[in-house]
Every structure is written in structure tokens, then in C-alpha cells.
Structure 1
Amino acid sequence: MIILLYIAALIFAVAFAVLVVYLAKVLKATQRTMSNVADTLEGLEKQMEGITLETTELLNKTNQLADDVNDKSKRLNILVDGIKGIGETVQGFNNSIRSVSTSISNVVEENKEETAQAVKWGTIVMEIFKKRK
């Protein structure tokens, strides 16, 4: 019976030794995995720093571009206002020409007969002048 107890203790000791060996292998593999994860995270951190710097530069350039667009937009507004003023001036000039044209037409209509008479007399004078030459 004591032999059975020794055999059981020996089996337990061998099983415990096998368990410890496998547990050591698992812990070593876990250590390697954790080391790889740490290296990967360090690389990721460096890449994130680079991305952060590039993003900051891009944001600064975008802000400068937005300021430039705003400045040019203000200048363009001044140009549009100037062109609007020129358009109003041209419209006023057209109205003035229209008014003068209308008044000339009215005067011509009123003096149509006198004008015809003057043209007739002018034609007669020219014919007489040509005949004398």
C-alpha cells in the first residue's frame, strides 16, 4: 500500500513537472507576444506623432488659404462695386442720350415743313450755283 502511495506521489511529481514545463513555455510565448505588441505600439506611436505633425501643418496651410480667399473676396467685392458704379453711369448716359434724341425728334416733327422748305431752297441755291459755274 505504501508502494501505491509512492507511485502516486511520483506520478503527481511528474505531472506537476510537465505542467510547470508547459506553463513556462506558455509564459515565454506570452512574453514574446507582449514584446511584439509593445514594439508595434511604439511604432504606431511614432507614426501617430508624424501624422499629428502633418495634420497640424495641413491645418495651418488651410487657415492661410482661407485667409487668402477672404482677402481676395474682399478685393473682388470692391471691384464688383466699381463695375456697378460704371454700369449706373452708363445707364444714366443712355437715359441722357435718349432724352436728347427724343427732344430732337420732337423739334424735327414740329419744324418738319420749315426743314423741307429749307432743303428745297438749299437745293435750288446749289443748282443755281452749279449753273453759274
Structure 2
Amino acid sequence: MDWILPVAGLIAALAFLVLVIGIVLVLVSVKKNLDYVAKTLDGIEGQVQGITRESTDLLHKANRLTEDIQDKVDRLNSVVDGVKGIGDSIQDLDGSVDRVTNSIAHNISQNEDKISQVIQWSNVAMEIADKWQYRKQQRESANYRG
């Protein structure tokens, strides 16, 4: 009967060892998955930064284009005002300028929709980046506590 206690202790130790090995395997698997998720999020962060940069560049270009078009429209209007009432040929020119102005205004309104979409997507991308950063900070603070 003296041998039962050491055998029970040995069985308990072996069971504990199996449990520890199982936990280690699970933790290794979780670490691999978390590493993969971290790499994926790093890639997404880079893409979001690229999209944000490109959106900003596009917005600046659209603003310069709008200013350039407005300057040209203003110059065309002053030319039309200067030669107004000279004759039928001038009226034809005036009609042409009106068509150009309408075309320019139409193009501007189309670009406004695109710019609005770019800004909306940029906002969505920035929200995703902010949420990712917030979650990363939470994980880091949890790691420091643990």
C-alpha cells in the first residue's frame, strides 16, 4: 500500500506535463495567428496611408484645376463682355463661349462628386486606421499589465 501514493503522484505529474504541453502548443498556434494578423494589418496600414496620400494629392490637383478653370472662365467672361453687341458673328462666339462655360461647369460638377467620394473613402480609411491603432494600443497596454 505504500507504493500507491508515489504512483498517484507520478500519474498527477504526468497529467500536469501533458496539460502544460497542450497549453504550450495552443499558445504557439495562437502566436502564429497573431503574427499573421499583425503582418496583414501592417500591410493594410501601408495601403491606407498610400490611399490617403493619393487622395490628398488628388484633392490638391482638383483644387488647382478648379482655380485654373475659374480663372479661364473669368477671362472668357471679360472677353465676351468686351465684344458684346458687335454683330451676328460675335453672337455666334458668345454662344460658343456659353457652351464652353456649360461644359466646364458640368465637368466641375462631375469632379465634385468624385472628390466627395474620395474624401468619404479617405474618412473611412482613416477610421479604420484609427480603430486599428486603438486596438493595437489596447493590446500593448494589456501586455504591459499581464
TM-score (norm 2): 0.51
Q: CA RMSD in A?
A: 2.1
**Is the aligned partner of 1:45 residue 2:55?**
no
Partner of 1:19: 19
Tell me the CA shift for residue 73 of structure 1.
1.8
Alpha-carbon separation, structure 1, partners of 2:2 and 2:86? 121
Q: Deviations over 1:78-99 (max 9, x none)?
A: 1342354547xxxxxxxxxxxx
Residues matched between the structures, number? 87
Tell me the CA shift for residue 17 of structure 1.
0.7
Q: Deviations over 1:42-93 (max 9, x none)?
A: 2222222322221122112101111012112212321342354547xxxxxx
Return 5+ residue gaps in structure 1 as ranges.
Answer: 88-133
Pairs within 5 Å for 1:113-128: none
Pairs within 5 Å for 1:1-133: 1-86=1-86
Return 5+ residue gaps in structure 2 as ranges.
Answer: 88-146
Q: What amino acid is aligned across from residue 74 of structure 1 in structure 2?
A: D
Moved >6 Å (runs of 4+): none
Alpha-carbon separation, structure 2, partners of 1:39 and 1:69? 45
Higher alpha-carbon Rg:
1
Alpha-carbon separation, structure 2, partners of 1:9 and 1:86? 113
TM-score (norm 1): 0.55
